[in-house]
Amino acid sequence: MSAQNQEIAFDITWISNVQVNQPAVLRRAEQIQTRRTVKKDWQAAWLLKAVTFIDLTTLSGDDTSSNVRRLCYKAKYPIREDLLKALNMQDKGITTAAVCVYPARVSDAVKALKDAGCDIPVASVATGFPAGQTHLKTRLDEIRLAVEDGAKEIDVVINRSLVLAGQWKALYDEICEFRKACGDAHLKTILATGELGSLTNIYRASMVAMMAGSDFIKTSTGKETVNATFPVAIVMVRAIRDFYWKTGKKIGFKPAGGIRTAKDSLAWLSLIKEELGDDWLKPELFRIGASTLLSDIERQIYHHVTGRYAAYHDLPMA
Amino acid sequence: MAAAAATVTGPSAGASGVRSIFSTMDYGPAPESPSLVLAWLDKQGSTLGHFVNGKWLKPEGQEPVTCRDPCSGELLASCLQADDGFVALAVDVAGRALEAWSPLPGAARAQHLLRLAETLRRHQKLLWTLEAMASGRVVREVRDGDLPLAQQLLQYHASWAQTQEQALSGWEPVGVVAVVLPPAFSFIEMMWRICPALAVGCTVVVFGGPASLSALLVAQLSEEAGLPPGVLNVVMGTAPPETLLPGLPGVAKVAFSGPVQGGLRLLVQLSAYEEMLWKLETRLRRVRQGRSLDWAVDMGTRGPAAWERAQSYVQEAQSQGAQIFQDGSTPPQSPFFPPTLVLGLAPASPCAQAEVPWPLVTVFPFRTAKEALAMSNGTPRGGSASVWSERLTLGLDLAYKLLMGTVWINAHGLKDAAAPVGGCKENGSAWHGGPDGLYEYLHPVGIPPRPQGPPQLLDYDKFGLSAPPVLPSGTSPASATAPYGVFVAGRFQNPSSRSSRPVLGSGGRICAHVAEGGAKDIREAVEAAHKATPAPGWASRVPGSRASALWALADAVSQRSQELAEQLVEVTGSDLADTRTEVVLSIARLRAWGAQVHAQGAGLHSAGPHGPFLRLREALGVLAIVCPEGAAPARLCVSHRVQRPFSSTLSSWQDMAGLLPPGLVNVVTGDRDHLTRCLALHQDVPALWYFGSAQGSQFVEWASAGNLKAVWANGGRSRCWDREGEGAGPELGLRAARTKALWLSLGDI
């Protein structure tokens, strides 16, 4: 992964003058989903690329070491080997970008991935995921413990009340503290955009999170009623672009929640390509948080290779 | 950052392809198959004919012309070119079909339109593929933009047809309509015009060029949908029939348009100029150009002629000191012209005045909103504009003040069947869509249509060039009270000619002398009228204030009604009873239009998820009226309810002058033809009503092409002003104001 982002001084002028025009964003979102079809070999290559962006995720109350272990092996072998061979892609080391779990499951995941003999990073959600409604002290402890257990990436949720109250400096300070608590681990900041009230707030929260040293900004926990949508994504990637133009720093983007189909994933890739450029099309700067997406991609690859639609039992479960 | 898309190649790049695509992450070709279109063309044989009277016609002896895919240059088909005889035949066919089509109940016509919509839906893939291939526009634009809009247009106009007998009572179809299609954009431009025409009961002959293959397909599908033969005909030919058609007996109306989508003019506030340019350039680098059948490209091409226009504009602009931004990845021999920014043109340079060709954008900085408004309104174009501002107060203010037919606030290019599309200034005064589009094809019942036929031989250079001299020829009754002069800017003043002309009463007796007005008087009158219009003038007054001014005028006329009636007897020789009726009617009309001031105004219409639009009725600005015989010879009015140009002798004006703001109504008397010439050739008169001779009408229409002023001419036919329909009917209301569609985009929750 690229070098960590470091916080920069809080500058209110970077956010105070910005107004997001929602109808215009909605129209751009509509366009971007339909204007960049990829077909045939291009589709297969793009889908395999999408696999390498996936943060393969399980965030359930009934997670145990057994299903986390299964997930880790699926992360290592996301696409059936014979399918990769048919595409001459077996030696490309295609795995998912990370495995993402609750803090209590980090050690299970670390062990399973070690057993599988791979160095896929483990990402842990933290800071009172998904609501963030716990004391700052326990939220910071949560980060430290997950890092101690071997998490290389921490997906923190922000304190939505600070956004809704317009306390941008306080939000900045909190995220700076998260940054410190992460140590060497990467900080991925979840904005929970479905609960921020407006696209303008989403832009401002994105900018604050980047100023405070986030390596990634992420749309959602997957637990809000509205998760990763294209309008939200456009606002966030435009914030990333503005931040890059101002500072020269490239910050990553992670949509999460509700991305289930191979077709969806292609649209997300073209959104990144169009709005941020090819530089961002790598796991260091783009992730997709998903749990069921991988199996749909594998089905599409199966169809591309064989010309047949796969039965449920043709593809190994996660 | 590649702009030019790969050309459409074979379906697979091979197994090694996946590896290389995986590392480059390039886009690949995503072609729509042309096979459906090729099969359709194949079925028509080597040459496409015309579709007339419900069948394909391929007359002998017509020169074929080739139709090529503008993106690849590949031959698509050969089309015939209609000769004059065939055009006349098609018009004749439409004329005969009219006899059965126009008397149909509206509800039956509505069913026909809905069946056509259904048929188009059934064959939509053929339609969008054909339109994309023939026009060079990208297939996505046609499928996602044109086809849903076509469906909406058919449905919208079917609703009007369904309720025609109630909603459009008092109006009848004009007759056979000739639609001349622009070089590209054939399909949807045709639908905007044929839907209202067919709905109200007109029959149509469409004239298309080689890029208009889809027009032929629509005509063929209309036959499949059960539209009676001859109602919709498509005639192919490259020669512009504009010159031929107006003179052709049987054509009641010609609807045509120039190139539809030109380039754009972008005005950016100075404080945001640099950042805006940077963002624009970034975006332009990602625009993909390629073959129109590729689903993943943004822009196709409009053919070699459009390419040449763009290239010569760019060279011209460079020679005038402009900087050009183009993404550098379009290969030099490509048929695609890259989207281009033209920067640093001064408004005074010739290029800044010329029409910007597609796909160019000229960018100008402005310092204040006021300056932006002046820059925008300072061009002869008045089609459409969009205003981008996060400040609602500013956005709305600009939208109201822009002299445009359509203004979008924080949006661009939205369309709706119910939203009228038209313009002012050089965009002309024709409308498509909405109620305004319907009236283009309607004519008030009971008023015989203008006589048709070829234009008369008229020496445009000489018509009304000077007023014939008037020499002293008798005595006039001395009147101490009657004022004398041309009435300009609220007072009577000496005419520049310092001459007079006698007003002959009944029996040839001179009953008064009026001033002999000339070009200079017209110039001053137009100036005075312009001064009376803008804020805080007449047009910006609240409706109540305008209404009460008209009512006060009515009262003043009423107080002198006896005197007026007597004067009218002297001039016209009619019975006192008749002239009394006339004066009473004048008063009633003034009051009625005064009342209507309140009724006119904005209507808010819902138009889908993007937000509603306002249909505004705005002042025409300065309206020139050449009055009918028996009335004061010429009169200048500021619109917003022009009271009917009724005969009122000059003496009454003295009392009334004080009731209206100076310059609101100006009266210039004199030689009709001479004053008409002065008015018609005045570029700053946006609208002209002419009620006079057939020759005068012809001159007015010819001369008005100079600034495309909105002209209403009677063609020499007299009008019964005392009848309700002709003297006060909805036609006057329609003509007396201009429509503007103002789109409000909303949504921030």
Q: What is the pLDDT of residues A141-190, one digit of tens each?
A: 999 999 999 999 999 999 999 999 999 999 999 999 999 999 999 999 99
CA atoms within 13 Å, Cβ hemisphere of B715: 10
- Which 601-660 residues of chain B touch chain A by CB within 8 A? 610-611
Bridge partner residues of B587 (DSSP): none
Report yes or no: B214 and B194 within 8 Å, Cβ to Cβ: no
Q: Which residues touch B609 (CB under 8 Å, ≥6 apart)?
A: none
pLDDT by residue (tens digit) across B106-145?
999 999 999 999 999 999 999 999 999 999 999 999 999 9
Question: Is the pLDDT reported for residue B706 higher than 80?
Answer: no
Q: Kindly state whether B295 is in contact with chain A, defined as any CB-CB distance less than 8 angstroms.
A: yes
B261-367 fold: Aldehyde Dehydrogenase; Chain A, domain 2 (3.40.309)
Residue B249 pLDDT grade (very low, low, confident, very high; cuts 50, 70, 90): confident
Specify whether the CB–CB gap between B405 and B360 falls below 8 A.
Answer: no
Q: How far is B34 from chain A (nearest CA, A)?
A: 17
How distant is the alpha carbon of residue A125 from its chain centre? 11
DSSP code string of B156-218: HHHHHHHTHHHHTTTEEE-SEEEEEPPSS-HHHHHHHHHHHHHHHT-EEEEEE-TT-HHHHHH
Read off the pLDDT band of B259 (50, 70, 90). Answer: low
Q: Going by DSSP bridges, is the β-strand pair B203-208/B264-269 parallel, antiparallel, or unpaired?
A: unpaired
- Residue with token string 């088909």: B77
Residue A137: active-site member: no
Mean pLDDT rounded to a whole number for chain B: 85
CB distance B735 to B711 below 8 Å: no
- Judge whether A259 lies within some domain: yes
Give the distance from residue B153's alpha carbon to the nearest chain A alpha carbon, in angstroms.
Answer: 22
**Amino acid at the residue A187:** L
The confidence score (pLDDT) of residue B638 equals 31
State the DSSP H helix or E strand holding residue B364, giving kind and residue range, or none if neither. strand B360-366
pLDDT of residue B330: 76
Which stretch of DSSP H or E encloses residue B234? Answer: strand B232-236
Question: Does A302 map to a domain?
Answer: yes
Mean pLDDT of the A102-121 span? 97
Amino acid B627: pLDDT: 80
Higher pLDDT pick, B687 / A91: A91
Q: Is the interface score ipTM higher than 0.90?
A: yes
B109: left (phi over 0), alpha (psi -120 to 50) or beta: alpha
Q: Which residue type occupies B668?
A: V
CA–CA distance from B372 to each of A222, B375, B402, B621 (Å)?
46, 5, 10, 21
Three-class secondary structure of residue B407 per DSSP: strand
Type of residue at B615: R
Does A86 sit within 8 Å of B746, measured CB to CB?
Answer: no
Alpha carbon distance B337, B341 (integer Å): 12
Report the range of poorest mean pLDDT among B358-362, B446-450, B558-562.
Answer: B446-450
Whether A250 and A2 have beta carbons less than 8 Å apart is answered as: yes
Domain locations along chain B: 34-260, 261-367, 486-743
| Option in B16, B30, B140 nearest A88 (CB) | B16
Fold match between domain B34-260 and domain B486-743? yes
Q: Chain B: residue nearest A48 by CA?
A: B22
**Residue of A174, A131, A135, A182 lying closest to A154 (CA atoms):** A182
| Residues A104, A122 contacting (CB under 8 angstroms) | no
pLDDT beyond 90 at B160: yes
Question: Is A146 a domain residue?
Answer: yes
Write out residues 534-593 of B within 8 Å (CB-CB) of A.
none
Residue B643: both structure tokens together: 């009271």
pLDDT at A4 over 90: no
List of chain B residues whose C-beta atoms are within 8 Å of the C-beta of residue A278: 25
In 3D space, the residue among B230, B289, B300 whose CA is nearest the CA of residue B55 turns out to be: B230
Half-sphere exposure of B521 (CA within 13 A, CB side): 30
Q: Which residues form the domain of A241? A: 39-307
Cα B101 to Cα B373: distance, rounded to the nearest angstrom: 47
On whether residue A246 sits in a domain, the answer given is: yes
Question: A39, exposed or middle or buried, with CB in 10 Å at 0-12, 13-18, 19+?
Answer: middle
Distance from CA of A135 to the nearest CA of B (A): 30
Q: Do A44 and B748 touch (CB under 8 A)?
A: no
- Among A241, A219, A223, CA closest to A231: A219
pLDDT attached to residue B355: 87
Place of tokens 């702009």: B3
- Can you tell me the mean pLDDT for B211-233? 95
Other CB atoms within 10 A of residue A307 CB: 7
Of residues A19, A35, A281, nearest to B296 (C-beta) = A35
Cα B395 from Cα B386, distance rounded (Å): 9
The closest CB to that of B22, out of A24, A45, A199, belongs to A45
Which residues pair with residue B177 across a beta bridge?
B204, B253
Give the domain CATH number at A246. 3.20.20.70
* Other CB atoms within 10 Å distance of the CB of residue B47: 13
Q: d(Cα B606, Cα B416) in Å, to the nearest integer? A: 10
- Give one DSSP letter per residue of B491-520, joined into a string: EEE--TT--EEEEE-GGG-EEEEEE---HH
Residue A3 included in any domain: no
* Domain-located, residue A16: no
CA–CA distances in Å: residue A203 to residues A235, A242, B588:
6, 10, 61
Q: Are B181 and B206 in contact (CB under 8 A)?
A: yes
Tens of pLDDT along B265-323? Answer: 999 999 999 999 999 999 999 999 999 999 999 999 988 888 999 999 999 999 999 99
CA distance B251 to B450: 11
- Tell me, what's the pLDDT at B632? 35
pLDDT band at B651 (very low <50, low <70, confident <90, very high): very low
Q: Which residues contact A181 (CB under 8 A, 6 or more apart)?
A: A140, A143, A144, A147
Spot the catalytic one: A250, A254, A273, A282.
A254
| Higher pLDDT among residues B202 and B170, named by residue | B202
pTM: 0.91
Q: What is the mean pLDDT of residues B541-545?
A: 79
DSSP assigned state of B335? S
Reported as half-sphere exposure (CB side, CA atoms, 13 A), residue B736 has a value of: 22
What percentage of chain B reaches a pLDDT higher than 90?
A: 42
B13, A41: Cβ pair inside 8 Å? yes
Q: Which residues contact B271 (CB under 8 A, 6 or more apart)?
A: none
A window 163-182, beta carbon within 8 A of B: none
Alpha helices in B635-727 (DSSP H): 651-657, 672-680, 694-703, 724-727
DSSP string, B651-663: HHHHHHHTTS-TT
Phi, psi of A75 (to 5 degrees): -65, -35
Residue A116 one-letter amino acid: A
Please state, in angstroms and rounded to a whole number, the distance separating the CA atoms of residues B144 and B269. Answer: 33
**Superfamily of the domain at B34-260:** Aldehyde Dehydrogenase; Chain A, domain 1 (3.40.605.10)
HEC readout, B411-475: CCCCCCCCCCECCCHHHCCCCECHHHHHHCCEEECCCCCCCCCCCCCCCCCCCCCCCCCCCCCCC
A42 to chain B, any CB pair closer than 8 A? The answer is: yes
Residue B424's pLDDT band (cuts 50, 70, 90): confident
B486-743: CATH topology is Aldehyde Dehydrogenase; Chain A, domain 1 (3.40.605)
Q: Which residues of A touch B13 (CB under 8 A)?
A: 40-42
Strands B486-488 and B442-444, sheet pairing: unpaired
- H-helix or E-strand spanning residue B740: strand B737-744
* The pLDDT value given to residue B635: 29
- Spatial contact of A271 and A265, defined as CB atoms under 8 Å apart: no
Partners of residue A19 in chain B, C-beta under 8 Å: 390
Count Cβ neighbours within 10 Å for each residue of B286-322 and write b for 16 or more, e otherwise: bebbbbbbbbbbbbbbbbeebbebbeebbeebeebeb
- Do the Cβ atoms of B397 and B376 come closer than 8 Å? no
**Which residue is it, tokens 């479960």?**
A317
Active site annotation includes A282: no
Residues of chain B above pLDDT 70, percent: 88
Contacts of A34 in chain B (CB under 8 A): 140, 144
Which backbone phi and psi does A198 adopt, to 5 degrees? -155, 160
3-state SS, residue B668 = strand
The answer to whether the Cβ–Cβ distance between B22 and A88 falls below 8 Å is: no
Nearest CB among B12, B278, B295 relative to A40 is that of: B12
- Whether residue B748 and residue A41 make contact (CB cut-off 8 A), yes or no, is no
Q: How many domains does chain A have?
A: 1
| pLDDT given at position B30 | 94
CA A59 – CA B44 distance, rounded (Å)? 62
- Quick one: average pLDDT of A32-45? 93
Please give the pLDDT value at position B476. 60
